[in-house]
A and B are shown apart, each in its own frame.
Chain A
Amino acid sequence: MRSLRIRRVRKGMSLKHAQGSKAAMRVGVPRALMFYRYYPFLKMLLEGFGCEVVASPPTNLRIMGMGTDLCVDDICVAVKALFGHVRHLEGEVDAVLVPRLVSVEKKDYDTFTCPKLIAAPDMVRFSFPHLPPPLEFVVDVKKAPFWWGCLRLGRRLGVSLRGIARSYAAATREQRRFEDLQREGLLPEDALKRMENGNDGPPPAYASAERDVTVAVVGHPYLLGDPLVSKRLIHWLDSSGARVLASTMLSRRDLEREARKLPDLSWSYEWELLAAASHFMEADGVDGVIYLTSFGCGPDSLVTEMVRREVPNPHGRALLDLVLDEHSAESGVRTRAEAFVDLLRHRKRARSREVEKR
């Protein structure tokens, strides 16, 4: 039965008939790239559509290794992780969902996400010939509103209009809850955990306001949120006694406020990073900023230069560029995190001594 279902998906027919069987369709969501931004939304939406959602496990060395083997070699580490996760899901699920994010905001000039996000489903489609093509979920806000993509996906899965509207509303609520949790100072990974377990335990130690130095980490959610890719950067900062803020914790309004200081940029997500860096350079109580990128990230190679040279830094805050790839070692990241926190501590002490002298 399942092979028949797969064949129908491959032919591009409506899945309505395939759903005739009792078993719900198993849809895999790889834990990479946009997972850390939209997973609660996608999960709720797909469950509303009557699918069983299977998320791949957190990235481990085996997944990363498979991704590195399968993917072209000079692409960023996050795409390699995506390939590893898809490989892991292959065989376990009837179809995978790799969202295609073409543009996510409307501005008075053209905006895009990264080309790799635009073409992610195509890369998966041609690299995994035995997998049925990924379900199309297109976000192209420049051309059609966000819900249009959900409607297309729902129709393709044979869901009624009413069912689509209901799941869309529920998914939007879930996504808002996820974002609110992040605004409260949780990293994407912890926010996801809390949503799954539903406990309101104590806030994590890195969010404590009583610590003596504060480090702001600016980077893509798929780098920040994936401990294997970021080599547990947050953990190392936390264990050296720093309070950690991250770009994912800022609200849209915080970012919009920075707009007039910054140049126009066609990449929406990189513009957010630029705005976040600018916010942390001026916000009260931040001592240093870490700009986290992955090797081979196209947009970031230019945006790092903009952060260094163009973002105003009125308080003379320390900035650390940290470049990650699949070969980086945990100890290297740990040394740099500890050294950076030490540096900030020394600076702070030296400055307060200067103020006392005066």
Chain B
Amino acid sequence: MRVAFPHMGNAYIPLRALVEHVGVEAVVPERPNRATLELGAKHAPEFVCLPFKITLGDCMNALEKGADTMAMVCGMWACRFGNYGHVQHLILRDMGYEFESLLIGREDPRAVWEKVKRAVGGGAFRRLLGAAAVFRAKAAAVEEIESKARFARPREERRGDTDRIMERYLTRVDEADTIRRVREIRRELREEFSALPLRDDDDVLRVRIVGELYVLLEPSLNFDLVRRLGAVHGVEAQPILSTYRWLLSPLWLDPFLHVSSSRARRVSRAYLPYVLGGEEHMTITGALDAPRQGFDGVIHAYPLTCMPENICRTVLPHISVTRDVPILGLCFDEHTSTVGTNTRLEAFLDMLRSRRGRGRNAKELEAEGVLRA
């Protein structure tokens, strides 16, 4: 059994650990890029959302690399994501690929477990527990690397330092084979980041990124939005969702995640009282909380025709006005170009900068007693 799963940001690191510690070989295709997207878009339905297209291309890459079992998370939701696995496997089979499907969430859980047990042999349950522990440790390590890098990147003295450290540590976490090793790596990581020379001016713009999960987390789809904002524009970008959150919240491994997402549901109920199946509650809550959490603006990133995010788009202008927070909508599909996105980002950031300058000037002037008169 050679299991493959589609890419999503750095999720492959903990997922590979999970599969391999259970005792099954994992096939990890290359990181997706524009070619993967075009490959997927060629075979996918015309106006399906973007993640479908890129993960379809990813599945084809994995099958070419010799995978014989395709794993995918499915579910019975109102969002299209729940049916991805089913339809993608229909398309792949019609294209002539032969493989076994592992549709987690759609098939009977017992049937999935039987398949795993057949592949692993004895002691499957004990191994699964061990694998889950490694999985959690690696997910937390990836999360720490990403969040440290997000903070350091716009403030680094020498451009590129943060990315170099990040790349090195991601590879090390991927290669680590025990929890103890992961823990050591995290300790070294903290030392390395605290030794990194940072500029200590407090002038860095902070931007909250909300929107659809996959577009938020997959750098090949959003033109590496977080890294670009940090390294090129010197802006600290904080996505509201993370790989860690997506991987661990359905597994009940971190109670904090549950508290925060149930709060998000509660807060967004005034805007969207019913569950739509996507990340609409995080989008709404992220935009509502942005001014209080010290963000200068919000970027809303979503794929073309995404249902929950399009519904959010009718609500966000209202939030933007009532909460006085600028919101930029960025729509992504396979025709979106780097230049168009970049121009809009630059204009938005210029606007944020002048807004902040105006706010501070007003405060300074007030302190001098000019404005009061």
Looking at B49, B78, B318, the one whose CB has the most chain A CB atoms below 10 A away is B78
**Which residue of A is nearest B271, CB measured?**
A122
Q: A126's contact among B46, B94, B314, by CB below 8 Å, is which?
A: B314
Residues of A within 8 A of B86 (CB): 263
> Bound state CA distance, A74 and B302, in angstroms?
11
Interface centre among A113, A266, A295, A323 (most CB of B within 10 A): A266
Is A116's CB under 8 angstroms from B274's CB? no
Q: What is the CA–CA distance of A1 and B117 in the complex, to the nearest angstrom?
A: 72
Residue pair B276, A266 in contact (C-beta under 8 Å)? no
Complex CA–CA separation, A301 to B331 (angstroms): 18
CB pair A306–B87 under 8 Å, yes or no, is: yes
Total interface residues in chain B, CB < 8 Å? 38
Given contacts A74-B331, A266-B82, A298-B305, contact A309 B47 (CB under 8 A): no
How close is B311's CB to chain A, nearest CB, in angstroms?
A: 5
Q: Which chain B residue has the least Cβ–Cβ distance from A109?
A: B76
Q: Tell me the complex Cα distance, A118–B277, Å.
A: 11
Closest residue of chain A to B311, judged by CB? Answer: A119
Provide the bound-state CA to CA distance between A184 and B277, in Å.
37
Is A312 an interface position by the 8 A CB rule?
no
B48 with A115: CB separation less than 8 A: no
Nearest CB of chain A from residue B222's CB, rounded to whole Å: 17
User: Are B82 and A119 interface neighbours, CB within 8 A?
Assistant: no
Q: Are A264 and B76 in contact (CB under 8 A)?
A: yes
B178 lies within 8 A of chain A by Cβ:
no
Please tell me if A72 contacts chain B, counting CB pairs below 8 Å: yes
**29 A–B contacts, CB within 8 A, in A order:** A71-B314, A72-B313, A74-B305, A100-B274, A109-B76, A110-B77, A114-B78, A114-B307, A115-B276, A115-B277, A116-B307, A118-B78, A118-B274, A119-B272, A119-B276, A122-B314, A123-B314, A127-B314, A129-B318, A296-B305, A298-B306, A301-B45, A301-B46, A301-B48, A301-B305, A302-B80, A302-B83, A306-B87, A306-B90
- Give chain A's interface residues, CB within 8 Å of chain B: 71-72, 74-75, 100, 102, 109-116, 118-119, 122-123, 126-127, 129, 263-267, 295-299, 301-302, 304-306, 309-310, 323
Binding site for A on B (CB under 8 A): 45-49, 76-80, 82-83, 86-87, 90-91, 94, 106, 271-274, 276-278, 304-308, 310-311, 313-315, 317-318, 331
